[in-house]
Each structure stands twice: as C-alpha cells, then as structure tokens.
Amino acid sequence: MSFTLDQRLAGPLADPAAEAGYDEHPPRMGFFTDTSVCIGCKACEVACKEWNLVPEDGLDLTGMSYDNTGELGASTWRHVAFVEQTTPRRDAVDLGMPSVPQGAVEDDREVRWLMSSDVCKHCTHAACLDVCPTGSLFRTEFGTVVVQEDICNGCGYCVPACPYGVIDIRPGDGRAWKCTLCYDRTSAGQEPACAKACPTDSIQYGELDELRERAAQRVDALHEAGTSQARLYGHDPADGVGGDGAFFLLLDDPEVYGLPPDPVVTTRDLPAMWTRAAAVAAGVVATVAAAFLGGRP
C-alpha cells in the first residue's frame, strides 16, 4: 500500500499502521471516553500510575475544583478534569449513570460539574512522531503512538509539535513521557489499566471503527433524551489530525474541557514551507550569480 506525501502528513488515512510499515497487523485500537457517565472518581488516574510506574506529581489542589493534577504531563498520563458550570434551571435528564449529586440547585439556576478523563489522542497524523530525531516515538501495530524512553535524548521537539499539549519532559529526568495506551497490556490482548479500572465504562477500549459506531449511537440516544449539547470530538478522519485514536463524547464545547476546537497537525505545512524556502534560496543564488557575472569585464 502506497501513500502520497500529503497523506503521510495530513488528511484522512485509513491505515496508519500500514503506513508505518506493518504489512500484516491487528485492527486499529483506541479509546472512546464518554464524559456523560464520568463520575470523577479518578480510578483511571490511579490505575495508570500504578501499572505504568508513573511517579506521583503532587497533590496541589488548584483552588478552583477538586482537580489536583491540572493538566496532562510527563507524570500525568490520565487527567480527570472537573469543570463547574452555572446553567439556567431545567428539567433533569436521565443519562443512565449512577445517582451521584452533580451540583446545587437554586431557584433560577443549577450548578453542574462536567467531568472528563483526558489522555493522549494517539493521532492518525502524530506530529510528535514526525519531528522525533532519534526514533524514540514510534507507531505500533495497533496504530497507537508510543515513546521509547530508553532512546529519547530529551531534545523536546515533540513538546511544541503536539497540537493538544499532551507530551512533556519530566523534570529531573530530561526525557519525554506520555500515555502508551498500555502497549504492554494490549500486546498481550489485555485491556489498558485505565479502562479496566473505570467503574462506569466512561473509558471504553476496543477496535476504533467499532468504538466510532458505538459513540454515534450513544450521541443519538442522548439527543433523544433531550441532551442536545452532546457531540463527539476527535472521531472524524477528515479533521486536522486525520482523526484521533482516543476520542470523546462531550456535553459542551471542546474549549470548556480545555481542548482545542480545531486541532491541526503541526507538520502539515512542512512541504509547502520547504518548497517556498527552496524557491527563495534559488532566487538568491540566481541574483548573486547575475551580479557576479554582470560585473565581469
């Protein structure tokens, strides 16, 4: 199977594993996170740290919510966001989740929490992988993106390359770290630790095509139940990163959850940039040559 340069850098790509050189490979695997049933228990954060031996990164509350990690980072591969909102009072909608108080109700308004377990998106077009000079970042046979920390030189090129701000350098270590989608477990046919620990099935693991179908059905069900704000994020292969291997069902705009509304792979425009740079360089050479030759007697 052959791919054009544009397909390698941006746009829909049906088989990232084949593009990476795997002639025969399993189906693409990924995460579907249904935030409508997340209860903010943080079991996923704990399971991720325990299984992957991710160091503790502080218990400093932000003062704005029960969030004690703040964002994804080198020592936070799963991050449960707590978003507190004040909305006009409306009739309650049964989301099919455990009966847990979601906020206070006053005469004319209600306060709700939107909770979401964020993670590396394992992009179809992963800029972090494209810019890595040592091959530390690689595409697995499952279509996921993994860091081999033993050959990471700590250059940090991957950090600004990620459109989601996921990958980071660990202080005191100097190397880049992020979610591996539990490559050691998935290679053995097991469920990733975070999905295994999730008590409400907010985090679902499986074949990506099947997860997309399941997510579309869930959105339809929520719309029929009156939750018109429900929408999918990162599921579309035609988006700026070719679709994510980890996508989400959200109950509000992506920005509310700290997600970019229209992420674009940061290496998309490299061919055009190099073409323009080459044209400018050729023009400079031609100008210098003409000046040199024109000045000869």
Q: What is the DSSP string of 243-273?
A: -BSEEEEESS-GGGGT--SS-B-TTTTHHHH
CATH number of the domain where residue 231 is located: 3.30.70.20
Give the strand pairing for 145-147 and 168-169.
unpaired
The Cβ-side half-sphere exposure at 243, using a 13 Å CA radius, reads: 22
Please tell me what DSSP assigns to residue 82: E
pLDDT of 100: 45
- pLDDT (tens, 9 = 90+) of the chain, 297 residues, equals 544 545 556 667 889 999 999 999 999 999 999 999 999 999 999 999 999 999 987 666 767 667 878 889 999 999 998 888 876 666 655 555 554 444 455 555 677 889 999 999 999 999 999 999 999 999 999 999 999 999 999 999 999 999 999 999 999 999 999 999 999 999 999 999 999 999 999 999 999 999 999 999 999 999 999 999 999 999 999 898 999 999 999 999 999 999 999 999 987 665 555 466 666 676 777 777 777 776 555
- Residues 286 and 159 reside in one and the same domain: no
Q: Give the domain extent around 48.
A: 16-266
pLDDT of 101: 47
SS3 string, 95-161, reads CCCCCCCCCCECCCEEEEEEEEEEECCCECCCHHHHHCCCCCEEECCCCCEEECHHHCCCCCCHHHH
Q: Is residue 6 part of a domain?
A: no
- Residues 193 and 296 reside in one and the same domain: no
Q: Nearest Cα to 26, choosing from 18, 36, 34?
A: 18
Q: Is residue 1 part of a domain?
A: no
- Residues 236 and 103 reside in one and the same domain: yes
Instruction: Read off φ and ψ for residue 216, nearest 5 degrees.
Output: -60, -40
Question: Burial letters for 274-297: b for 16+ Cβ neighbours within 10 Å, e otherwise?
Answer: eeeeeeeeeeeeeeeeeeeeeeee
- Residues 72 and 152 reside in one and the same domain: yes
**Beta carbons of 47 and 76 less than 8 angstroms apart:** no
Residue labelled with tokens 């593009």: 19
**Beta carbons of 232 and 247 less than 8 angstroms apart:** yes
**CA 119 and chain centroid, separation:** 6
pLDDT of 232: 98
pLDDT of 115: 92
- Residues 195 and 287 reside in one and the same domain: no
- Residues 158 and 259 reside in one and the same domain: yes
CA gap 74, 120 in Å, rounded: 11
